């Protein structure tokens, strides 16, 4: 492989020529405490799906799969969020050791959440998920200005799945 081809690969951290513009730390997602009532309602819903699978759908496989999926969801929901170091540069957004190149996104938008400020990057590829980045309020203006200089900004509304996830506090 030629040296030029190696340099064209996406770097994992900002290089000397790639000037850092804004730097901050934030959690990867918003952690929401769940009270015992949340777990009780969740257990009732899981049992309801199991009964539906056994008596209506008549699928024992699905009936066994439901509590396995529920256990995985509970483990995921209980996991505390990791803190990520973000750096916004001319090339893209660096999140820990990963580069999200601006060329891979078509637009961005601010997502209103009562607990935190976040930006969602909308990918160019059809089935690629968007990237949500949380940031502190004091860095917000600089982050939005730098993003707007490189990507068009659009008003974003949460899709039904995102609204359901936030409502369920997952």
Q: To the nearest 10°, the Cα dihedral for 7, 8, 14, 20? A: 120
Task: List pLDDT tens digits, range 112-166.
Answer: 776 788 999 999 998 888 899 999 988 889 999 999 999 999 988 877 887 788 7
What predicted TM-score, i.e. pTM, was given to this entire model?
Answer: 0.73
**124 against 2, higher pLDDT:** 124
Q: How far is residue 133's CA from residue 135's CA, in Å, rounded to a whole number?
A: 7
- Residue 21, exposed/middle/buried by CB under 10 A (0-12, 13-18, 19+)? middle
Whether the CB-CB separation of 99 and 91 falls below 8 Å is answered with yes
Contacts of 31 (CB under 8 A, 6+ apart): 80, 81
pLDDT of residue 13: 44
Q: How far is residue 70's CA from residue 66's CA, in Å, rounded to a whole number?
A: 6
Which pair of tokens denotes residue 24?
């901050």
Q: How far is residue 133's CA from residue 139's CA, in Å, rounded to a whole number?
A: 12
SS3 at position 157: coil
pLDDT of residue 20: 64
pLDDT of residue 19: 63
């Amino acid at each position: 492989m030629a040296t030029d081809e190696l340099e064209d690969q996406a770097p994992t951290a900002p290089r000397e020529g790639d000037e850092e513009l804004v730097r901050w730390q934030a959690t990867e997602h918003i952690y929401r405490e769940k009270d015992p009532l949340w777990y009780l309602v969740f257990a009732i819903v899981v049992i309801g799906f199991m009964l539906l699978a056994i008596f209506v759908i008549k699928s024992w496989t699905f009936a066994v799969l439901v509590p396995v999926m529920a256990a995985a969801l509970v483990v995921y929901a209980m996991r505390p969020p990791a803190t990520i170091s973000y750096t916004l540069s001319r090339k893209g957004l660096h999140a820990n050791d990963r580069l999200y190149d601006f060329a891979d996104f078509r637009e961005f938008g601010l997502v209103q959440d009562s607990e935190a400020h976040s930006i969602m990057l909308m990918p160019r590829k059809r089935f690629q998920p968007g990237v949500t980045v949380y940031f502190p309020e004091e860095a917000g203006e600089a982050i939005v200005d730098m993003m707007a200089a490189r990507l068009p900004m659009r008003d974003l509304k949460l899709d039904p799945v995102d609204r359901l996830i936030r409502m369920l506090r997952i």
